[in-house]
């Protein structure tokens, strides 16, 4: 018997354009802006299902909040991948967990000159005021901020050579720079650290380091001086490249290896420290900051014991509801820059994922509050079913849960973000709201939830005209025009 949340793993055929949603409760009058979210919208190509949750064709969602009302739009990203799938009935490129049709000769050509998917379904970003959909290749796709109409692929034209690019860039508000990492695959692969001005598509390489067997990684940590990559034992298996496997199956877990942090100096680009830790796997970094007096950096992540969580998110396993999805814990590492031992401890056992902080106020700084998706009955069977607020100071947590309702990534919106990050405005770190798109399995309809971030109590919810597939990540863009990043 399929679990009730499988409605969030089914395709949607309709596209809505700025439909006003019926709301219950009161949306704060100060909350005015646009929530853009991204994720899969269609899970079949040519009548055949894709294999993994991450492989669905991208669909952008737009939630416009103004004067206490919510309007919703959704539109499929008309990428090259989407157009090929629609007209040819097959995938154009290999996806994360699903292969495209190809011959041995095709695979040989791909090794020399890979064609990378532009099915940009993971998150959203902006170049200036232009929104773009992003994924784990450099092939971002621009779309209209109001209509969501696709405007075409993004060509950087900057000469930077990378094959993989993270969909979790960081923002340096003081320098108005976007900082990101990627991988250049080749005979000698390399991890690459780069940046671009917030209003420019032109990227500048900061540094790169050789990686004999590069690890799969989904995000990274950032402090004022350092960028931090966690290299897990999930490493590229070159012998798999000719076996017609999807992207992630070219990686295998190597029990003989530890995990290792690579700490890049953001000015010189050099790797200044490589502390090893016990094997673990991480999708999402939470925050990182420096301890200058100790010559250390603190890195908080959502850690898993191994990479089994990737396989657990295949659509067959999720829809069966018979096997637990491994739970992540909030784990803190205190890493030495020069000499000294690594200090590691669990801050919160979870299970949690999709972490969120008050990014503009506390990114690269010590912080108190974490918001995330959690589960009321660990070990979690299937998808996470509640929202959690965790207080790192007191070790206490608050939970929002409703039977039959499944939330997605919480997005924190600061009521009064500081004009300059890090400046004390006299407001609390949790002075704002948390937004989450829900699936109510009792009615098979979705809703936008608004929680008071301080009390973690419900303020309002706006009911959408249909059930939307679960999305991954998103950004809040306020109307006042101030730079306001809501997640790494």
Q: pLDDT tens digits, residue range 93-105?
A: 999 999 888 665 6
- When pLDDT is averaged across residues 291-295 and rounded to a whole number, the result is 96
Res. 281: pLDDT tops 80: yes
Residue 355 confidence (pLDDT): 97
Local confidence band at 319 (pLDDT 50, 70, 90 cut-offs)? very high
Between 268-282, 317-331, 364-378, the lowest mean confidence (pLDDT) is in 317-331
Residue 416: the pLDDT is: 84
Examine the pLDDT at 112 and tell me if it is beyond 90.
no
Look at residue 484 and tell me whether its pLDDT is greater than 60. Answer: no
Give yes or no for residue 215 having a pLDDT over 60: yes
User: What's the mean pLDDT when you consider all of the chain?
Assistant: 93
The answer to whether residues 323 and 340 touch, using CB atoms and an 8 Å cutoff, is: no
pLDDT at 396: 97
Which single residue is written with the structure tokens 């929202």?
387
Looking at residue 36, its pLDDT comes to: 97
155 band by pLDDT with thresholds 50, 70 and 90: confident
176-199 pLDDT, tens digit each: 999 999 999 988 899 999 999 999
CB of 171 closer than 8 Å to CB of 485: yes
Higher local confidence (pLDDT), 47 or 322: 47
Q: Is the pLDDT of residue 347 over 60?
A: yes
Tokens of 409: 């990534």
- Reported confidence tier of residue 463, pLDDT bands at 50, 70, 90: very high
409 touches 344 (CB < 8 A) = no
Rounded Cα distance, 473 and 451, in Å = 18
* Predicted pLDDT of residue 101: 83
Beta strands in 26-166 (DSSP E): 33-42, 44-45, 48-49, 57-66, 69-76, 123-127, 130-134, 141-143, 150-153, 164-165
* pLDDT band at residue 476 under the 50/70/90 scheme: very high
487 part of a folded domain: no
**pLDDT for the residue numbered 9:** 97
Q: 222-248 pLDDT, tens per residue? A: 999 999 999 999 999 877 666 678 899
Instruction: In whole angstroms, give the CA distance from residue 332 to residue 339.
Output: 18
Confidence band of 417 (pLDDT split at 50, 70, 90) = confident
Q: Would 170 be classed as within a structural domain? A: yes
- pLDDT of the residue at 105: 60
Q: What is the CATH number of the domain that holds 108?
A: 2.130.10.10
Does residue 488 lie in a domain region? no
- Percentage of residues in the chain with pLDDT exceeding 70? 93
Asked whether the predicted pLDDT for residue 124 surpasses 60, the reply is yes
Tokens standing for 309?
């969580």
Say if residue 420's pLDDT is above 70.
no
Q: Three-state secondary structure along 372-397? A: EEECCCCCCECCCCEEEEEECCCCCE
Q: Which of 20-34, 78-92, 251-265, 409-423 has the lowest mean pLDDT?
A: 409-423
The range of the structural domain enclosing residue 54 comes to: 4-478
pLDDT score at 485: 64
**Which pLDDT tens digit goes with each residue over 45-80?**
999 999 999 999 999 999 999 999 999 999 999 999
Residue 180 belongs to some domain of the structure: yes
- pLDDT of the residue at 322: 81
CA distance 249 to 230: 20
In the predicted model, is pLDDT for residue 409 greater than 90? yes
User: How far is it, in rounded angstroms, from Cα 264 to Cα 450?
Assistant: 38
Alpha carbon distance 281, 323 (integer Å): 19
Q: Confidence class of residue 477 from pLDDT cuts 50, 70 and 90?
A: very high
Residue 268 placed within a domain? yes
Digit-coded pLDDT (tens) for 353-394:
999 999 999 999 999 999 999 999 887 678 999 999 999 999
Q: What is the pLDDT of residue 229?
A: 98
- Average pLDDT (412-428) is 77
Q: Is residue 484 part of a domain?
A: no
**Number of domains the chain is built from:** 1
Query: What helix, strand, coil percent values describe the chain, rounded to 5?
Result: 10, 45, 45
Q: Tokens 């949750």 identify what position? A: 53
What radius of gyration do the chain's Cα atoms show? 21
Q: Which of 53, 57, 100 is nearest to 314 (CA)?
A: 53
Q: Whole-prediction pTM value?
A: 0.95
E-assigned strand segments in 337-429: 343-356, 369-374, 386-391, 397-400, 405-407, 411-414
33 belongs to a structural domain: yes
> What's the pLDDT at 379?
73
């Amino acid at each position: 018997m399929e679990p009730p949340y499988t409605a969030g793993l089914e395709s949607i055929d309709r596209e809505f354009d700025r439909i006003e949603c019926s709301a219950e409760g009161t949306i704060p009058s100060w909350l005015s802006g646009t929530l853009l979210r991204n994720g899969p919208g269609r899970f079949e190509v040519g009548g055949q299902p894709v294999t993994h949750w991450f492989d669905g064709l991208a669909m952008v969602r737009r939630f416009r909040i103004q004067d206490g009302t919510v309007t919703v739009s959704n539109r499929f990203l008309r990428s090259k991948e989407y157009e090929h799938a629609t007209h040819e009935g097959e995938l154009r490129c290999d996806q994360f967990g699903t292969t495209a049709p190809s011959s041995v000769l095709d695979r040989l050509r791909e090794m020399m000159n890979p064609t990378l998917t532009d099915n940009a379904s993971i998150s959203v970003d902006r170049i200036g005021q232009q929104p773009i959909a992003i994924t784990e290749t450099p092939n971002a796709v621009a779309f209209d901020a109001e209509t969501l109409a696709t405007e075409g692929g993004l060509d950087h034209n900057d000469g930077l050579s990378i094959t993989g690019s993270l969909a979790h860039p960081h923002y340096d508000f003081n320098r108005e720079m976007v900082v990101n990492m990627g991988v250049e695959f080749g005979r000698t692969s390399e991890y690459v650290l780069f940046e671009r001005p917030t209003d420019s598509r032109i990227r500048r390489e900061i540094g790169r380091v050789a990686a004999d067997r590069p690890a799969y990684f989904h995000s990274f940590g950032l402090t004022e001086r350092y960028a931090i990559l966690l290299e897990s034992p999930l490493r590229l298996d070159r012998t798999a490249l000719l076996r017609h496997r999807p992207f992630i199956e070219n990686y295998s877990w190597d029990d003989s290896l530890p995990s290792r942090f690579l700490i890049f100096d953001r000015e010189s680009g050099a790797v200044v420290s490589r502390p090893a830790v016990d094997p673990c796997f991480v999708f999402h970094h939470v925050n990182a900051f420096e301890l200058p007096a100790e010559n250390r950096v603190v890195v908080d992540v959502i850690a898993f014991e191994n990479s089994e969580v990737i396989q657990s998110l295949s659509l067959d396993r999720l829809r069966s509801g018979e096997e637990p999805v491994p739970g992540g814990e909030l784990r803190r590492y205190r890493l030495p820059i020069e000499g000294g031992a690594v200090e590691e401890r669990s801050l919160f056992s979870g299970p949690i994922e999709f972490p969120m902080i008050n990014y503009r106020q506390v990114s690269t700084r010590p912080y108190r509050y974490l918001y995330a998706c959690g589960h009321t009955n660990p070990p979690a069977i299937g998808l996470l079913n509640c929202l959690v607020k965790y207080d790192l100071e007191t070790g206490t947590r608050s939970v929002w849960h409703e039977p039959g309702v499944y939330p997605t990534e919480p997005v924190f919106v600061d009521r009064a973000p500081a004009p300059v990050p890090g400046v004390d405005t006299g407001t609390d770190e949790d002075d704002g709201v948390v937004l989450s798109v829900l699936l109510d399995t009792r009615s098979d309809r979705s809703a936008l939830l608004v929680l008071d971030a301080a009390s973690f109590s419900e303020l309002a919810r706006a009911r959408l005209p249909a059930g939307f597939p679960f999305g991954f990540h998103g950004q809040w863009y306020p109307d006042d025009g101030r730079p306001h990043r809501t997640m790494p």
